[in-house]
């Protein structure tokens, strides 16, 4: 599974990455986390608000930072 964090590096983007790592560790799944910071790459996903979470090339949400428990539902 490939999980991407879309964002420019703001505090919310960092928090989303932390929460995503916690969710992956809790579920004990094999996943790779990639950070996408280039604005053109972010726009290619149709995302207008960051941070955003992409799982296997599908945008799961954007514009907010969900809890690790909520992220588990998307993984």
Active site residues: 10, 13
CB 48 within 8 A of CB 3: no
CB atoms under 10 Å from CB of 23, counted, come to: 23
45 DSSP 8-state letter: T
């Amino acid at each position: 599974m490939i999980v991407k964090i879309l964002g420019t590096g703001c505090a919310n983007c960092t928090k989303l990455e932390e929460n995503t790592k916690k969710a992956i560790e809790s579920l004990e799944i094999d996943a790779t986390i990639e950070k996408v910071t280039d604005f053109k790459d972010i726009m290619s996903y149709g995302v207008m608000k960051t941070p955003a979470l992409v799982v296997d090339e599908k945008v799961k949400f954007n514009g907010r930072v969900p809890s690790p428990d909520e992220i588990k539902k998307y993984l």
